[in-house]
Amino acid sequence: MDSVYEVLDLGELACMLTATLCVYHGARRSLENPFDAESADGPVQVTMQMAVLAPLVASLALLVVYFFFEYIQFFYICTCICILGWTLYLLLVPLADRLLPRKAWTAHTVDITLSQIGCGFLAVAALWQWVTTAHWLAQDLLAFSMCVYMLSFVRIPSLKVATMLFVGLLLYDVWWVFFSARVFESNVMVSAASKQATNPVNVISQHLALPTRQLPGLSLPGVLLFPSQRHPGRLSMLGLGDIFLPGLLVALNLRHEMATGRGGLLPHLTASAGTTPAWRSPFRLALGGYVLGLLVAMVMSHYTQHPQPALLYLVPATLLPTLYGASRAGQLADVWNGQSLLLDEDRRTHAATKA
């Protein structure tokens, strides 16, 4: 029997801790802005049609990266650099606002604060560090910020939509990890996730004939990376989809508990005194189930010596506790249809409009 140390690498545990923190913080950030169907600036709400089409769209995107990455890598990595810098900036600004004075300068009718300037410099510095060194820590910071932003910007309106989305992407994950090698020359999922893009600075320097040193290639920023303690030179990896998708359900549970005043983990944020017991809170159960699902996926990867589709473990580990917690609270039908969330979003939007 292997010891716990032999099964659980510190790099994998760091991935699990970072992913859990990302899910928790993303769920908290999802509380900030109500969804307004009439506004184009608010969060994106996943519809049933989107949930049905998600596995097909994800499969097409995966195949494009697998077959045509050599031709699209410059555009792809440059787009990622822009998105990563912007999302890191958006992650840092609310934190900096609490620490720095709110003095603002007006430039062309736009107010610019000290925190915005500081966060802009930090985002550019992190991007430069990643582009010039390809360091895993800089990539993780940027990937973390992108995932938190996505969790705050994309929302699932009901458990019914979440179930359709989860089942479809679970089948997608299992197919491309376990069975794609039987149709294609290699494991498509692993191959796409492990591709490296030519550094765009090298491409521009060569095109302009600039005398600069060669910079390392960049890993695709769709994964968290941590150095393995047992295998020096090797990196433990966790895809952002394995954080983002379960995080959507955790955020749904938190928003529902806020809407009904039944927060078990964050009672100081709830709207009323009546709270669900901590052990019965769907938010807490789903978050704990997410940690357990990640742990099982890592253990199975160790024993099978084969890449595992993490959603195979994360979907039941988060969906089943949510169903159990909602059923025990007598709110399964409400969570399934999202009625309380709809009423709460209407109330908050109306209040914001009046203000």
pLDDT at residue 78, rounded to an integer:
92
Bridge partners of 198? none
pLDDT at residue 354, rounded to an integer:
47
Task: Give the C-alpha distances (Å, rounded to integers) separating 156 from 214, 251, 337.
Answer: 44, 8, 11
> What beta strand segments (E) does the chain contain?
44-45, 104-107, 110-113, 154-155, 196-197, 218-219, 223-227, 235-239
Q: What is the DSSP string of 27-95?
A: HHHTTSS---TT-SSS-EE--HHHHHHHHHHHHHHHHHHHHHHHHHHHHHHHHHHHHHHHHHHHHHHHH
Q: Which amino acid does the sequence have at 67?
A: F
Euclidean distance between CA atoms 75 and 198, whole angstroms: 11
Q: Which amino acid does the sequence have at 232?
A: P
pLDDT at residue 170, rounded to an integer:
93
Catalytic residue among 9, 242, 334, 344: 242
pLDDT at residue 4, rounded to an integer:
52
Euclidean distance between CA atoms 244 and 54, whole angstroms: 14
Tell me, yes or no, if 344 is annotated catalytic: no
User: Which mean pLDDT values do the consecutive 10-residue runs of the chain (355 residues) have?
Assistant: 61 90 92 58 85 95 92 92 92 82 62 83 94 92 93 91 94 91 87 88 87 84 84 82 94 86 50 51 91 91 81 94 86 81 53 45
Tell me, yes or no, if 242 is annotated catalytic: yes
pLDDT at residue 342, rounded to an integer:
60
Q: pTM of the predicted model, to two decimals?
A: 0.85
Is the distance from CB of 130 to CB of 139 less than 8 angstroms?
yes
Catalytic residue among 9, 36, 140, 173: 173
Euclidean distance between CA atoms 261 and 179, whole angstroms: 45
Let me know if 218 is exposed, middle or buried by CB neighbors in 10 A (0-12, 13-18, 19+). Answer: buried
Bridge partners of 197? 218
Q: How many helices (H) and strands (E) does the chain have?
A: 14, 8
pLDDT at residue 259, rounded to an integer:
78
pLDDT at residue 281, rounded to an integer:
81
pLDDT at residue 147, rounded to an integer:
94
Longest dimension (CA), the chain: 68
